[in-house]
Amino acid sequence: MKKGYCDVCGKKTSYTVKKNQITEFKGYEVNVIEEVGVCDLCSSNVYIPELESQNFKRLYGKYRKLAGLISPDELIEFRKRYDISQRELTAILKLGKMTINRYERGAVPSKSNSDYLKLIMNNSEVFKNSLNEAFKKERITQKTYDKVLGKINSSLEDPFKKATISSLTHEADEYNGYRTFDIERLLNLISYIADRVDLHKTSLNKYLWYIDFQSFKINVRSVTGLRYIKHQFGPVIEGKKYEEILNYFDEKFYKEEFEDGDFLKTTVKSKKNYDLSLFKKEELEVIDSVISTFKSKKSNEISELSHKEEGWASSNPGDMISYEYAEKIKIPF
């Protein structure tokens, strides 16, 4: 039985979780569920830190989405992608000294700062211009300049890669788990999965789908920002873009083909150079739990499991599967 400290009873008591609906927050119709512990002895509210932090996450997640504002996670991920500190980013963008620091700790940005940051994050040409400007005005060192420029250029180089990335990039909504697609996260994730399991091309989509949906269920956000379509054999990445990802992006993994009877099968091999620091602790927990659940299962077994999921079963072939189905995931990871 779960226990929490009840102020009214003055001791630890067992409690029951009750759900309330929060309809309005800061002028927005949020309609999110709030979970509160209620003392079994005296019916007073009991403060349960885990529930509070989940409530906070849900409420602010929804609020930010509604207000279209940038989230702390998006900022942190952006800095990680370019390997820059809060101070370096502040200098590049010429923002107030503690601005990035405050936003990353959860302060809600103004609409204009949020729009500016979004533009920088979604358009590497604009970011490059800011970088050049910051270097010319000596706000950043040569070392920082070279490092960031190198990363921007390598992400722009290849037209095939660029086209693939842009076809997978959409505004954050219920179909990508409220995350704009992040190629670095996807490549590192695939490399990590391939290192841990015997990864076939056919099961890759299911691993990713379960990881993204389970992460949404637990953490209110997907890991990769991918959108999935209902396909006959299970959920697949929109536009079957996994083919292009396996063909064009070979920094972290490579394909290996082998004959199995009359079929040519493809496995994905890790180059073992993945960077797990891109993921948060609670995301890695989800990733590892999905991997250990599927590790000993064959592709067709994983496929069958995915067919029992409501997100797949209730969608029509070719439909995009909403992350709203995540809470109904049946496998107890």
Per CB under 5 A, residues contacting Zn ion are 6, 8-9, 39, 41-42
- For residues 6 and 117, which CB has a smaller minimum distance to Zn ion in the complex? 6
Structure tokens given for 259: 């004959």
- For residues 9 and 108, which CB has a smaller minimum distance to Zn ion in the complex? 9
Closest CB 54 distance from Zn ion, rounded Å:
22
- For residues 9 and 121, which CB has a smaller minimum distance to Zn ion in the complex? 9
- For residues 7 and 158, which CB has a smaller minimum distance to Zn ion in the complex? 7
Closest CB 16 distance from Zn ion, rounded Å:
11
- For residues 17 and 42, which CB has a smaller minimum distance to Zn ion in the complex? 42
Closest CB 12 distance from Zn ion, rounded Å:
10
How far, CA to CA in Å, does 109 sit from each of 87, 116, 126, 238? 17, 11, 20, 32
- For residues 12 and 295, which CB has a smaller minimum distance to Zn ion in the complex? 12
Closest CB 55 distance from Zn ion, rounded Å:
20
Closest CB 40 distance from Zn ion, rounded Å:
8
Tell me the one-letter amino acid at 332: P
CB 66 within 8 A of CB 30: yes
What is the 3-state secondary structure of the chain?
CCEEEECCCCEEEEEEEEEEEEEEECCEEEEEEEEEEEECCCCCEECCHHHHHHHHHHHHHHHHHHHCCCCHHHHHHHHHHHCCCHHHHHHHHCCCCCHHHHHHCCCCCCHHHHHHHHHHHHCHHHHHHHHHHHHHCCCCCHHHHHHHHHHHHHHHCCHHHHHHHHHHCCCCCCCCCCCCCCHHHHHHHHHHHHHHCCEEHHHHHHHHHHHHHHHHHHHCCCCCCCCEEEECCEEEEHHHCHHHHHHHCCCCEEEEEEEECCEEEEEEEECCCCCHHHCCHHHHHHHHHHHHHHCCCCHHHHHHHHHCCHHHHCCCCCCECCHHHHHHCCCCC
- For residues 40 and 133, which CB has a smaller minimum distance to Zn ion in the complex? 40
Closest CB 6 distance from Zn ion, rounded Å:
3
Closest CB 20 distance from Zn ion, rounded Å:
18
Closest CB 10 distance from Zn ion, rounded Å:
8
- For residues 16 and 247, which CB has a smaller minimum distance to Zn ion in the complex? 16
